[in-house]
Amino acid sequence: MAITRPKGTKDIFGNQAALWRYIENMAHETAAVFGATEIRTPTFERIELFRQSVGETTDIVQKEMYSFTDQGGREYVLRPEGTAGTVRAYLENRLQDLAMPVKLYYICPNFRAERPQEGRYREFHQFGAEYFGSYHPTADAEMISLAYLFLSKLGVDDLTLRLNSIGDADCRQRYNDALLTFLRAKEEKLCTLCRDRMTKNPMRVLDCKNEDCQAQTKDAPVPLDYISEEAMEHFTGLQKNLEILGIPFQIDKTIVRGLDYYTRTVFEFTSVDLGSQATVCGGGRYDRLVEKNGGQPTGAVGFGLGLERLLLILRNQNKLPEVDDGIELFIGHMGEAGAEKALRIADYLRKHGIVAITDLGGRNVKAQMKYAHKAGAKLAIIIGDSELESGKAMIKSMSTGKEHEIHLEAIPNYFGLH
């Protein structure tokens, strides 16, 4: 029986895999110029990590985690996001002992049991970056500018950076009170989950994906109207830094983000080319999270950028680069001796970094040339007894069909080798 891949996942191969490498290389390069270093954390973590960090009343924790119990009875989940694991690893490996601030980045798969649709998958990949050790708005600006530079280098157009501040824990209490009063008047019309969240964590009602709930909360109070003077100063400081960096933004008072760890700054990059899943990158400041996971109070800020959504934008904007598998030469053969020579030449070229392919299984020349064409080789050469005798063969351009004679010994030279 044929078994298919799990719903909401993808197989990536061929040209697509080359595109992924192109994007990942750009992510590595961009993070590096900011002095960020790569971190790779386990694909699964203890369930408590996300309960404690992302929050018990978030969609991620309540509905979307892939969890399992191991042979020892411990409960684990496949990582639904990258920040919690990075904070855990930062503390567990005492990365705070390195030169502070510490900037880390990751490119990794995440897993959420969501309803799959375009731009929303059950396994998806993020390029994320986290900055530990600064409470200053320049750190927020730096993380935003990292994401912005990455997107600009890929040629993405028409993105909107939406910015908001949701304040600190102190401001949150006042805001929660106001929001709860507002929600109480709508209680009857909210879904069961929202009615439950309303008292436990009213802000999470604003993330509900149920359209009726969204209609009810459309005019809800916004956190920005309740933030403290210090939080407002931080917010204006960030805006000033973005102006210095020439990064355009809009203030969007409705952004609250769906994860509990945020304090002060929250932001999203959205694209009109993404349809209903419009956010390609989301992030913000999380000044309480390190402490919550057992560390010293540490200012921190970061983002996660969805690579599948990024690819959708690039495709819709015709910004996907031509990917070339780079096969320089197909070396075909006629007869045993020709195959041996083809093998020797291919081996020499490969050892010197030239992409060379062969088809030494004894197929006829026509079948070999068909393969060379389908595989995308730029040039082809066939070596048989007469070529071995004369020491010369015809080298053919697969795109124009033109051919010319070449000494077999001069093949390495032809590719700039000596």
State the residues that interact with ligand HAM by CB under 6 A: 81-83, 112, 114, 120-121, 124, 126, 128, 130, 259, 279-284, 302-304, 306, 308-309
> For residues 362 and 352, is the Cβ–Cβ distance under 8 A?
no
Comparing CB distances to ligand HAM, the nearer of 29 and 118 is 118
Q: In the bound complex, what is the minimum distance in angstroms from residue 121's beta carbon to ligand HAM?
A: 4
Q: Which residues pair with 161 in a beta bridge?
A: 269
Find where tokens 């992030």 sit.
283
Residue 1 burial by CB count (10 A; 0-12/13-18/19+): exposed, middle or buried?
exposed
CA dist list (Å): 107 to 31, 86, 114, 151, 312: 11, 12, 21, 15, 18
Instruction: Compare residues 103 and 197 and give the one whose CB is closer to ligand HAM.
Output: 103
Least distance in angstroms from the C-beta of 262 to ligand HAM: 7
Q: What is the CA radius of gyration of the chain?
A: 28
Q: How far is the CB of 282 from ligand HAM (least distance, A)?
A: 3
Sheet with 403-407, strands from edge to edge, namely 356-358, 329-333, 379-383, 392-397, 403-407
Q: Which is nearer to ligand HAM, 57 or 126 (CB)?
A: 126
Q: What is the DSSP string of 382-412?
A: EE-HHHHHHTEEEEEETTT--EEEEEGGGHH
Q: Would you say 110 and 125 are in contact if contact means Cβ atoms under 8 Å apart?
A: yes
CB of 213 to ligand HAM, least distance (A): 19
Considering beta carbons, is residue 147 or 346 the nearer one to ligand HAM? 147
**Strand order across the 263-271 sheet:** 37-38, 102-111, 123-132, 300-306, 279-285, 263-271, 159-165, 250-251
Measured from the CB atom, the residue of 69 and 254 that comes closer to ligand HAM is 254
The least CB distance from residue 13 to ligand HAM, in Å, is 19
Bridge partners of residue 279, in order along the sequence: 270
Q: State in angstroms the smallest separation of the CB of 177 from ligand HAM.
A: 26
Pairing of strands 75-78, 44-46: antiparallel
What are the Cα distances from residue 35, in Å, to 85, 105, 310, 363, 364? 20, 10, 23, 53, 55
Instruction: Pick between residue 123 and residue 340 the one whose CB is nearest to ligand HAM.
Output: 123
Nearest residue to ligand HAM by CB is 306
Q: Are 253 and 244 in contact (CB under 8 A)?
A: no
Question: Minimum distance from CB of 116 to ligand HAM (Å)?
Answer: 8
DSSP reduced 3-state for 213: helix
Decide whether 20 or 303 has the Cβ nearer to ligand HAM.
Answer: 303
Q: How far is the CB of 198 from ligand HAM (least distance, A)?
A: 22
Report in angstroms how near the CB of residue 29 gets to ligand HAM at its nearest: 20
Question: Shortest approach of ligand HAM to residue 42 CB, angstroms?
Answer: 16
CB nearer to ligand HAM: pick between 304 and 338: 304
- Tokens representing 241 are 């830094």
Looking at the Cβ atoms of 159 and 383, the one nearer to ligand HAM is: 159
Residues in the chain: 418
| Closer residue to ligand HAM (CB): 86 or 368 | 86
Class of residue 403 by CB neighbours under 10 A (exposed 0-12, middle 13-18, buried 19+): middle
As given in the structure block, the two tokens for residue 297 are 């109070």
